[in-house]
Amino acid sequence: MTYQGVLKKMMTSNNDVVQYYLDMEADFLNMNQLINKEITLSFVKYECLNCGLEKQIYRQGFCQSCFFETPRAGDWIMRPELSKAHLGVEDRDLEFEKEMQLKPHIVYLANSSNVKVGVTRKAQVPTRWIDQGAHEAIEILEAPNRYLAGITEVALKEHVADKTNWRKMLTNDNEDADLVAVKEQLSQYIPDEAKEYYLKANSEEIHINFPVEKYPEKVKSLNLIKTPTYSGVLKGIKAQYLIFEDNTVFNVRANEGLVVSIEV
């Protein structure tokens, strides 16, 4: 069977083991069912996720002009502390920004290779943690908007990482951390404006199990533009990475906007 479609990040559901789904236009693939099967991935063309044109992808699935124009790629997405919708100030499209920013947001700790702090919309829990490959996570604070969550993250990352080491995450080189203890220790650094939103009671670690049969010892990243066709046996999925038997890994999210074919 051959499937074709423009890559968008895999959808997930957090069951005993995370289930991954890839939307391939005419088909909806449960990627877990492809584990231990040989699949062939091929690059077909570009297709910008905003304008739909066949233009080279610049970042986040968008062509260069869309990346600098669409409200879906404003600076406040990567840097929540720059959010201004709560002040009624527009970045690119105030209605869209109100819709996205003036919603409950969670500041969390996630452990994928190391403990890091992050921000996500409440509706994106636990999706965000799965997408980062976190095997455990905990909520720190629930803010009424993105800005307050963002300034909290900025304050906390003085004391804890805000990045994941993706190679360690993919080789499963990690340690269990006592996230409850880290959360309590960090709570003193929450900015005054956000202190009232600290989640005192909500102190349970969430554990996530990824469908990986065999972790690679080292990883080599597949660049589908330079190597337009790749075949390998899928051994697992973690975060947004497909992990193959020969240590090749393919980051679906980083390849958004590429039209690919998948032959099973």
The 174-213 site mask, x for binding Zn ion (CB under 5 A), equals ----------------------------------------
Q: Which is nearer to Zn ion, 2 or 56 (CB)?
A: 56
Give φ, ψ of 106 to 5 degrees: -110, 130
Q: Which of 50, 60, 112, 164 binds Zn ion (CB under 5 A)?
A: 50
Contact indicator for 221, 19 with CB cutoff of 8 Å: no
Nearer to Zn ion, 174 or 255 (CB): 255
Shortest spacing between CB 64 and Zn ion, in angstroms:
8
Establish whether the linkage from the previous residue to 144 is cis, with ω within 30° of 0.
no
Name the minimum Å distance from CB 207 to Zn ion: 39
Rg, Å, the chain Cα set: 19
Please identify, among the stretches 46-54, 128-136, 167-175, 245-253, the one whose residues bind Zn ion according to the rule CB under 5 A: 46-54
Q: Centre a 10 Å sphere on the Cβ of residue 141 and count the other Cβ atoms it contains.
A: 26
148 binds Zn ion (CB under 5 A): no
233 binds Zn ion (CB under 5 A): no
Interacting residue with Zn ion among 7, 39, 66, 137 (CB under 5 A): 66
Q: Which parts of the chain are beta strand (E)? A: 2-6, 11-14, 18-24, 27-30, 38-46, 57-59, 62-63, 105-111, 115-121, 136-143, 206-207, 220-221, 229-238, 241-244, 248-251, 258-263
Using CB under 5 A, pick the residue from 18, 22, 48, 252 that binds Zn ion. 48
How far apart are CB 60 and Zn ion at their closest, in Å? 11
Place of tokens 């597949």: 222
Residue 244's beta-bridge partner residues? 234
* Total residues interacting with Zn ion, rule: CB under 5 A: 5
Minimal distance, residue 63 CB to Zn ion, in Å: 3
Closest distance to Zn ion from the beta carbon of 257 (Å): 8
Distance CA 60, CA 244 (A): 24
Nearest distance from C-beta of residue 43 to Zn ion, angstroms: 18
Q: How far is the CB of 48 from Zn ion (least distance, A)?
A: 3
Report the alpha-carbon distance of residue 24 to residue 6 in Å, rounded. 7
Sign of CA dihedral 173, 178, 183, 189: negative
Pairing of strands 220-221, 248-251: parallel
Residue 51 binds Zn ion (CB under 5 A): yes
Binding to Zn ion in span 68-97, by CB under 5 A: none
Among 6, 22, 63, 117, binds Zn ion (CB under 5 A): 63
Binding site for Zn ion (CB under 5 A): 48, 50-51, 63, 66
